[in-house]
Structure formats: structure tokens, C-alpha cells
Amino acid sequence: MDFSREFIALACDKGVLRFGSFITKAGRNSPYFFNAGLFDDGLSFRALCGYYAHAIRSSGVEFDMLFGPAYKGIPLVAGTAIRLAEEGVGLPFAFNRKEAKDHGEGGTLIGAPLAGKVLILDDVISAGTSVRESVEIIRSAGATPAGVVIALDRMERGKGALSAVQEVRESFGIPVIAVATLDDLVGYLADSTELAANLDAVKAYRDTYGITSGR
């Protein structure tokens, strides 16, 4: 089992990935729902950050440091930096706060100064707003966005023909690395006797709203 499937198995076990009938922000009736906020204990969150570290190292993307956008990116960037350090890759990291502080260190950035090629860590990309804000923060510091790492790529069209992930790739010219994709989920369901009953609904949803290619 590769790390993408191991991640999906963990997400199902933790209830992070659930199956049924869910209305998305776009008003679509989705047969599955993903909520990374439910990796809410030390053991599962450590595993999640290990999958991020694995996806980053497997991607071959070049970068000098990590950045986590508030709020979900904050624990992700700290946890992934620790997991990478455990693998012998010690890197600086930073994150932002939503509200500027007028005392102490001040400003909105916490951690290492943004410099060089900066890899952004977030849970998912829905509208791309968080990525856009992160890119602006990184560029305004004189650094360069190196890419974005997310847990799950739904591979789903937005308002046009492109998915949110493809729009980010096109708009900013940076790679998006996903720990797992909708195709990985379909493959996992096809091999799971326990969850196979959800396969047809997920495939039908992909046929209706999916993009033609994840790359």
C-alpha cells in the first residue's frame, strides 16, 4: 500500500473522510465529505504530517522553507517540519496570524523570516483564496512561492473547466502537491470490501463534476 492509500485509510478510520450525502459550498450533492480538522489527536495528526513529509519528498520540488497560512496551516507546518527533521531534513518554517499585533514582535508573521523558495502547506484548496493570500505575503517579503501541498485534491471543476487546483497552478505558475487525489480515493474504494458500496456514487460524481486530467 502506498502512502496515498495509507492516508485515505487513516482518514476513513478517523471519520475525516465520510460517505453519504453532503452539500458542498458550490451547492453540489457530494457522496463524500473531507474535514482535515478531525485529525484531532496526537497519533493521527503525527501520521498526517508524516504523509505531508512523504508527499513533499516524493515530489522532488525544490524549496528552502515552509509556510502555513492561518489557521489550519499553522499546526500542519509545525508538524510537517518536525516530521521532515526526523527524516534528516531540518528546515525553517513560518506562519501568519489573521490580526496584526501591535506589541511584542508585532506584525502578522511568526517564525523564520520568509526567504528563498517557500513551500505553502494547507489542508485543501477550495476557492484558492488562502493560496492567493499566502503568495502575496511571500512575494511581499521578497521570497518566491515554490508550490502548495494539500491533503486531498478533489479534482473537481470550479465555475469553469478547471479545478481549483488547476486554477492555482495556472494563476501562479507553481506546482500543487496532494497527499491523495480523487483518483486515489476511487482506487481505494474499488479494493475495499467494507466501503465498496460507495464506489458507484463517487465515480458518478467524478463523471459529472470531475476534470479530465489531474495534471
Tell me which residues are annotated as active site.
101, 103
Distance CA 73, CA 78 (A): 9
Taking the alpha carbons of 60, 137, 25, 45 in that order, is the dihedral positive or negative?
positive
Query: Among candidates 150, 205, 167, which has minimal Cα distance to 183?
Result: 205
Query: Among candidates 146, 153, 110, which has minimal Cα distance to 128?
Result: 153
Cell of 155: 479534482
Taking the alpha carbons of 199, 205, 208, 214 in that order, is the dihedral positive or negative?
negative
Q: Is residue 65 within 8 Å of 93, Cβ to Cβ?
A: yes
CA 55 to chain centre: 10
For residue 128, the one-letter residue type is G
Q: Is residue 77 within 8 Å of 95, Cβ to Cβ?
A: yes
In sequence order, the β-bridge partners of residue 19 are: 32
